[in-house]
Structure 1
Amino acid sequence: MTSRFTELVVDCHDPHRLAAFWCEVLDFTMLDQSEDKVEIGSWEPTAEAIRASQMPPTMMFIQVPEGKMVKNRLHLDVSPIDATTDQEVARILSLGATRVDVGQGVARSWTVMADPEGNEFDVARSLAPTTRATPTA
């Protein structure tokens, strides 16, 4: 018997605002929504596809009455695919994120940020292709 990782659920006050933020960060689309719940993802999940292979999980934002109280025990790491880490940090800041200090120190290869509701996440190393200088003779 096996299970699949199908959804990452985030409790929040405003699921529509948070889902829109993460759609912009990850280039996801809204898959399903109601007044108190929004699901986003990079693909339209079907039971057949999930049974056949592990697929990327969707993100589900569910409205709850309580606010975030302490540092997250679980967080996302995102890696830019077509920009430097610094460029991606600047883009995500413009979407409404903030830089946060969770005791990570200053000399790190990642940047700790928080989404508009304070959930921490890291912008990690860039996966963008690098161009190499051609040697001259």
Structure 2
Amino acid sequence: MASRLTEISLDCHDPDRLTEFWTAVLDWVVLHREPGLVEIGPAGRDDADLLDAVRSGPVAPTIFLAQVPEDKVTKNRVHFDVSPVDRSHDDEVERILALGATRADIGQSGEESWTVLADPEGNEFCVLRSLAPGHFSL
């Protein structure tokens, strides 16, 4: 059996602020909190059931928001992509901007089908096409 991607760590200055932002964007909950470190993920995951799920196949990883003293200096080498599931792409971009995101320019042409945003600490991420009924078909 191979390894599984189970957590993603995101360095930040203010884990509480990014927790507020990312739980609202993803409709996730706080799974664990201690000084300088917060884990967020989907709600309702019993530890035993989660372990069985991880062993049998990929599951959505949780995100650890870890406080660090260093500033973000350059464009992210790894970033999140999110896809709206219950509204249009444009409506989702507006919702996320209202939560505290900003538009980010990382050299895109303006012809992309996605929108590049940055979270409140400047970490870039993309809002992709909508998966909502009426906006996405196979």
TM-score of the alignment, normalized to the shorter chain, above 0.5: yes
Inter-partner Cα distance in structure 1 for 2:16 and 2:7: 17
Which residue of the partner structure matches residue 87 of structure 2? 83
Unpaired segments ≥5 residues, structure 2: none
CA offset digits 1:27-68 (Å, max 9, x no partner): 000000011000000143543332232211000000000010
- The match for 1:120 among 115, 121, 124 is 124
State percent identity of aligned pairs: 55
Inter-partner Cα distance in structure 2 for 1:88 and 1:57: 22
SS of 1:11's equivalent? strand
Inter-partner Cα distance in structure 2 for 1:54 and 1:100: 31
SS of 1:17's equivalent? helix
Which residue of the partner structure matches residue 134 of structure 1? none
The list of structure 1 runs, each at least 4 consecutive aligned residues, that deviate by more than 4 angstroms after superposition, is: none
Larger Rg: 1
- The match for 1:104 among 108, 115, 134 is 108
Which residue of the partner structure matches residue 42 of structure 1? 42
| TM-score (normalizing by structure 1) | 0.91
Q: CA deviation at 1:20?
A: 1.3
Unpaired segments ≥5 residues, structure 1: 132-137
Which residue of the partner structure matches residue 71 of structure 1? 75
Paired residues, what number?
131
Inter-partner Cα distance in structure 2 for 1:128 and 1:48: 30
Inter-partner Cα distance in structure 1 for 2:87 and 2:36: 34
